[in-house]
Structure 1
Amino acid sequence: MTMILTINTQSIIMAKGYSVYINEDQETTKNRTTLACEGYPIELRCPGSDVVMVETANYGRTDDKICDADPFQMENTQCYLPDALKIMGQRCNNRTQCVVVAGVDVFPDPCPGTYKYLEIQYECVPYSKY
């Protein structure tokens, strides 16, 4: 089971198996940040008929305090997947919601042996048919 927490700070310590929304009020904030530890789902959703537009995405590790794991698996904090934005955009842009599992079934492994997480910044925008 994945627990979703709402917090209003950028300083996050997460245990394995959690997804977290970083914005304080997801229903009224257009810009949203969310993340999920490796192996767990991340949900992007927008209210009403607004749709998701992914702005930034990384599958990897840039912080040694997010998604707690074996210390050896958290040493590499320079782990980036350049294609994460493209992959997330293909899966989620122009949809009211999407769920993606943070793992190697979806993303190539940018740093084997490192426990990763998926961090997404996205905006909810009015749907447009052009």
Structure 2
Amino acid sequence: MVKNSSVLFLLLVGTAIVACIAAKQTDICENETGRLRCRGSETIRIKNAWYGSTRNSNCRGDTERCNTLEKADKDTLDRMRNRCNRKGSCDLTPANRLWGSDPCPGTAKLLRVEYDCK
């Protein structure tokens, strides 16, 4: 299951209302393909990523044994950025080989990607 979300904030500055769109967040279940996507001529900029399992994950499998999301190290982020940054869309298929380790053996994992479009 792929879950996309973004947040819109309204900020009052003097007499003007300024809209700021926070980073998008996409959750992709292990061994499924998810798409990061921007509109029009905007392109992806990956900000951060996590891999692991949460008890409220919608990924199939036993998520009770592990409740941790491991933050991406520099090498993993660089690989993801090289693959996706400056593109309008990018497909990712999370797996232990992409991450470089298995933070929750025997558990359905998810890749959580935070990115914005510029």
Q: Normalising to structure 1: TM-score of the pair?
A: 0.67
**Structure 2: gaps (5+ residues):** 9-20
Indicate the structure (1 or 2) with the bigger Cα radius of gyration.
2
Which of 45, 52, 58 is equivalent to 1:53? 45
**Distance change in 2, residues 1:87/1:67 (3 Å):** farther
Q: Give unpaired runs (5+ residues) of structure 1.
A: 1-17, 126-130
Distance in 2 separating the partners of 1:42 and 1:80: 19
**In the alignment, does 2:88 pair up with 1:96?**
yes
CA distance in 1, matches of 2:66, 2:99: 18
Identity %: 24
Instruction: Tell me the alpha carbon deviations over residues 3-59 of structure 1, each in whole angstroms, 9 at most, x when there is no partner.
Output: xxxxxxxxxxxxxxx11112378xxx5621111111111111111111100111012
RMSD between aligned residues: 2.4
Contact 1:54 1:89 in 2 (8 A): yes
Contact 1:39–1:103 (CA<8 Å) still a contact in 2? Answer: yes
The structure-2 alpha-carbon separation of the partners of 1:97 and 1:69, relative to structure 1 and needing over 3 Å to count, comes to closer
Count the aligned residue pairs. Answer: 104
The partner residue of 1:114 within 103, 107, 114 is 107
Larger strand proportion, structure 1 or 2?
A: 2
Distance 1:68 1:42, change over 3 A: closer
Q: Structure 2 matches for 1:52-91, cutoff 5 A? A: 52-61=44-53, 63-71=54-62, 73-83=63-73, 84-91=76-83
